[in-house]
Amino acid sequence: MHKKSPLNRRHFLRISIFGMLGAGMATKGGWAREKEGTRAHSRDIKSLSPAKIKDYRILGRTGFKVSDLAVGGVQDEGLIGTMLDAGVNYIDTAESYPGHHRIVGKAIKGRDRKSIFITSKMLMEKDTSKEGLVKRVRKALQELNTEYIDCMMMHMPEKVETLKTEGFHAAMQQLKAEGRVRYVGVSNHGSFWFRDPQETMDKVLLAAADDGRFDVFLFAYNFLQMDQGKRVLEICKKKKIGTALMKTTPVFKYYIIKSLVERLQKEGKEIPSLYKEGLTRFKDKLDRAEQFIKKYDLKNPDEIREAAFRFVLANPSVNTVCCSLKNYDEMERILPLSGSKFSDRDKATLAVYKEGCGELYCRHACGMCEPRCPQGVPVNTIMRYFHYFMAQGREKEAMLKYAKIPGARADLCRECPGYCEAACPYNVPILGMLHLAHDQLSLA
């Protein structure tokens, strides 16, 4: 199937996003379905016979038997439906995913509702009074076209303090009593902003475990970013909290990034010298990574991605892994991973990848370098949006999110020697990556 590169799509996206912003439609649904590859244009869906889910695990104290692979942020109702047909029974959505509640609502229409576990999430912004949150959940129920939500999560609380939001807990109590919400959960992939560098993902989630009112956690964990997630998994096991993972395959699309760097160099525009230096440092690491990839015959990024999936599935404390699939091809590659075992070859593959390419990954839920930025640029958040753009096919959403960052963004990095890069304990060539991210995500 022909796949358009994000580079080619950017111009179109930029124009359409300007249109949406201008029309005040930035958060309204509908556009997600235009996305590349999310429709099976060139495939006869009826001819698909994807692998079936082979492993189900108990989701902590909820007692629900969930498939080891889950639907996470998939933007097409047909694709979600096919995954459900294959035995996937956990769907993750959120109020802040544009149009996603309605997409899920269409995908579950006519199915046995009791056999599916749906989680949604609410950011602790807008109206967080009890009444406000009850109203927001009722709207979600309507959009999802369901009588109840299995688990309503507090979406990315940035501080321990936020976990105590009174209106949230009062609203959940009422909605539980009404049978509209069955369980309460929390999601986290690190602080949005450097102003709270001490409020790390594990600190917030360990506090949520102590709080006792949260039954399911959704968080980041992968073979390159293990420490925080490990601590969270341990406490979840002890307290019988259900675990769903995200950001599990940090396999950088280095060929795409490489062509981006080359394009910028070829454009011949005047590039500030600090910008050039940052890109050069990034490209050096990219070239080194490429040598590793060739030496160890890791030319197929799918193989690395699959090993990364098997790595997290091998942990018995992991209940389910959310898959943000872009299209049917990806689904056909990922579903056979259900129930598969992490092999010695997988272990070796990931070790080689980590050695050769690990420095190209800005760790999810990190942000350790951010206090060093004199401009207050939210480095880790920007890199997360870049990940949505480059790796998850969520280009429009990523650009919109980037446009809405309050305060400093990565355009300020052009004139900076990269204090953040010097502070990164993982040697990520972040200055060059910030330049690239700004180039791709900005509307100007």
| Cβ contact 134:100 at 8 Å | no
When the beta carbons of 84 and 434 are compared against ligand SF4, the nearer one is 434
Task: Candidates 132, 340, 419, 442: give the one binding ligand SF4 (CB under 6 A).
Answer: 419
When the beta carbons of 104 and 205 are compared against ligand SF4, the nearer one is 205
Token digits of residue 311: 């790595």
CA distance 82 to 97: 21
| Cβ contact 369:379 at 8 Å | yes
| Cβ contact 81:38 at 8 Å | no
Q: How far is the CB of 313 from ligand SF4 (least distance, A)?
A: 24
Q: How far is the CB of 419 from ligand SF4 (least distance, A)?
A: 4
How far CA 51 is from CA of 118, 159, 303, 347, in Å, comes to 22, 41, 17, 24
The alpha carbon of 381 is separated from its chain's Cα centroid by a whole number of angstroms, namely: 11
431: contact with ligand SF4 by CB under 6 A: yes
| Cβ contact 133:168 at 8 Å | yes
Interaction pattern, residues 187-226, with ligand SF4; x per rule: CB under 6 A: ----------------------------------------
CA distance 180 to 139: 12
How far CA 353 is from CA of 47, 255, 383, 401, 434, in Å, comes to 35, 14, 20, 30, 22
Non-local CB neighbours of 18 within 8 Å, separated by 6+ positions: 443
Stretch in the footprint of ligand SF4 (CB under 6 A) among 140-148, 228-236, 349-357, 427-435: 427-435
When the beta carbons of 19 and 272 are compared against ligand SF4, the nearer one is 272
Task: Candidates 430, 436, 437, 441: give the one binding ligand SF4 (CB under 6 A).
Answer: 430
Q: How far is the CB of 387 from ligand SF4 (least distance, A)?
A: 11
Q: How far is the CB of 385 from ligand SF4 (least distance, A)?
A: 13
How far CA 335 is from CA of 51, 68, 144, 293, 306, in Å, comes to 6, 10, 25, 25, 10
Q: How far is the CB of 297 from ligand SF4 (least distance, A)?
A: 28
148: contact with ligand SF4 by CB under 6 A: no
Tell me, what DSSP letter sits at residue 405? -
Q: How far is the CB of 377 from ligand SF4 (least distance, A)?
A: 4
When the beta carbons of 127 and 284 are compared against ligand SF4, the nearer one is 284
235: contact with ligand SF4 by CB under 6 A: no
Collapsing DSSP to helix, strand or coil, 219 comes out as: strand
Which residues between 353 and 382 bind ligand SF4 (CB under 6 A)? Answer: 362-363, 366-369, 373, 375, 377, 379-380
Q: Applying CB under 6 A, which residues contact ligand SF4?
A: 362-363, 366-369, 373, 375, 377, 379-380, 412-413, 416, 418-420, 424, 426, 428, 430-431, 434
